[in-house]
Amino acid sequence: MNWCQYVCSACSYLSALWTFLKQTNVIIALVLISVVLYVAYYRLCKCKALTLLYTHTEMNDFLVKHTPELRKVYKPTIYLLNGQLQTIFYAIMRNIINSRFGIEYRRETVKLQDGGQITLDWPLFPEIDNNFKETTPIITIHAGLTGGRHDIYVATMMKDAAKRGFKSVLVNHRGCSGTPIIVSEVY
């Protein structure tokens, strides 16, 4: 058999396979099998209990004990199983999502000993801010490298913190969310 006969036999095999796969019942069966395998993969590989890595201090142990969310099984959105898919989805949907979570902020600049600076974004919730006292606990939120106050996860955390009676502040490190990088001489 020469190479031409091999190619012809492969083409006829693929043609027969394609004809078989085009049948409606085969397509339905393949879709059902794919869905079952995907759901099994999701349940067995993606839904995991959180692993907490922390130093056992009195305060940390108290927080873990009184925060039931830390003991729940993490279940990512079924169609956004990994960080890459979540990032792509968010990049596409950012403007649509953020229009629902518009929060006003007051920005505070903090000068550091080495001459640099960071900024703090304090959310303004007029309906809730009056209930805060000097002793109200403050939750600090540190966004990712490209994150900031425009991100939905930051707005969601700040709104949830306010509903639960906490103040919150977003810490923008040097070069993040419009915070300039200031370089000074080493002293």
First-to-last C-alpha distance (Å) of the chain: 81
What is the rounded CA–CA span in Å between residue 158 and residue 152? 10
Residue range 61-118, pLDDT digits in tens: 998 889 888 888 888 888 888 888 888 887 787 767 666 667 788 999 998 888 888 8
What is the rounded CA–CA span in Å between residue 170 and residue 142? 6
What is the rounded CA–CA span in Å between residue 160 and residue 149? 15
178: left (phi over 0), alpha (psi -120 to 50) or beta: left
* Confidence tier at 120 by pLDDT (50, 70, 90): very high
Is pLDDT at 186 greater than 60 in this prediction?
no
Listing DSSP states for the chain in one string gives --HHHHHHHHHHHHHHHHHHHTSHHHHHHHHHHHHHHHHHHIIIII-EE--------HHHHHHHHT-GGGGSEE---TT--SHHHHHHHHHHHHHHHHTTS--EEEEEEEE-TTS-EEEEEEEE-HHHHTT--TT--EEEEE--TT--TTSHHHHHHHHHHHHTT-EEEEEE-TTSTT---------
Residue range 22-66, pLDDT digits in tens: 777 877 888 899 999 998 988 888 888 888 888 999 999 998 889
Burial of 171 (0-12, 13-18, 19+ CB in 10 A): middle
